[in-house]
Amino acid sequence: MSLIKYLRLFVLMNILELLFAFIVIMAAFAAIIFLYSKLSRLFKKKSYHHIVPPKPENDKNWHPIELSEYECFFFVKNSSLKFILETINGILKDKNKSIYLDSFEYVEEKEWILLKLDKISYANYITAMFYLCNYSENKNYPKNVIGFGIHKKDNNQDFLFKIDEYMHIQELMISTLKRIEKVLEGKIIGSFRDGRNFSIYFPHIGLNEKGNISLSKNNQEVNFHSEISKLPLNLIKKEKSRQKNNY
């Protein structure tokens, strides 16, 4: 091999080594940025959603509500009516479960099912969310469940809530039993119509009949108007019209 060819090969090898080192460094830098963003979000979530809050009466951000002043609904997407009715009827019939409903109504349209729950306590309303989400292997469990409370007098007090999507994604990565256990330890996030965000810590839902809604002053993760725009609100009018015709 001539000296010139040798020098060219030597230079090429050095360039390739430098290029490889550059790629490794950039990959490592990207990984660090990715992990930092994930850890930052996780820390943010833990600081707001996963630290065990105090009892409602001791929570300075506690917002007590009278659920009797609300009409209580669930919007359920991409599930079968049979599955939903079996779930609700199972709750009604099984005395070993912690939720009881005096009555419920439903309306369906395309991929959506609207459930109206009458004479329900705060604790049972929140518990129903978890039954409807049904964290099991059943392929018919809903892909989306949104709770919607309509205040009978002041629409600024209307609120919606859902299971924390971040928590939901995390739980899909573990076994069904562990998933259920972790979800029942977790939180729900939501917003009032006037923009006030809140969280609900599931293990504390029965500590006070006026609930355990804890307002958030710093975390605005749920946009009420954005979320409500995705829901088929016409189903509420349809349900009320059908209820009126039944009388």
Question: Positive or negative CA dihedral for 137, 122, 162, 56?
Answer: negative
Question: Positive or negative CA dihedral for 181, 89, 237, 157?
Answer: negative
Q: How far is C-alpha 131 from the geometric centre of its chain's CA atoms?
A: 13
Q: How confident is the model at residue 159 (pLDDT cuts 50, 70, 90)?
A: very high
Residue 33 has pLDDT above 60, yes or no: yes
Residues 98 and 215 in one domain: yes
- Higher-confidence residue of 41 and 123: namely 123
Q: How confident is the model at residue 174 (pLDDT cuts 50, 70, 90)?
A: very low
Residues 6+ apart with CB under 8 A from 223: 191
Residues 123 and 213 in one domain: yes
Residues 62 and 32 in one domain: no
Axis crossing angle, helix 176-184 with helix 122-133, rounded to the nearest 10: 160
Residue 62 has pLDDT above 90, yes or no: yes
Overall number of domains in the chain: 2
Domain boundary among 10, 30, 51: 51
Residues 42 and 164 in one domain: no
Q: How far apart are CA 159 and CA 153, in angstroms?
A: 13
- Higher-confidence residue of 65 and 4: namely 65
The arithmetic mean of pLDDT across residues 153-172, rounded, is 75
Look at residue 17 in the predicted model and tell me its pLDDT. Answer: 77
**Highest mean pLDDT, choosing among 45-54, 74-83, 98-107, 173-182:** 74-83
Residues 5 and 117 in one domain: no
CB 101 within 8 A of CB 120: yes
Continuous segment of H or E residues that includes residue 7:
helix 3-45
Residues 124 and 241 in one domain: yes
Residues 194 and 99 in one domain: yes
Residues 100 and 77 in one domain: yes
Q: How confident is the model at residue 164 (pLDDT cuts 50, 70, 90)?
A: confident
Residues 6+ apart with CB under 8 A from 136: 176, 180
Residues 103 and 214 in one domain: yes
Residues 31 and 142 in one domain: no
**Boundaries of domain holding 23:** 1-51
Residues 113 and 216 in one domain: yes
Domain boundary among 9, 30, 51: 51
Q: How confident is the model at residue 74 (pLDDT cuts 50, 70, 90)?
A: very high
Q: Write down the mean pLDDT value for the chain.
A: 77
Residues 178 and 159 in one domain: yes
Provide the whole-model pTM. 0.70
Q: How far apart are CA 160 and CA 123, in angstroms?
A: 15
Q: DSSP 3-state assignment of 149? A: strand
Q: How far apart are CA 78 and CA 180, in angstroms?
A: 20
Structure tokens at 160: 């919606």
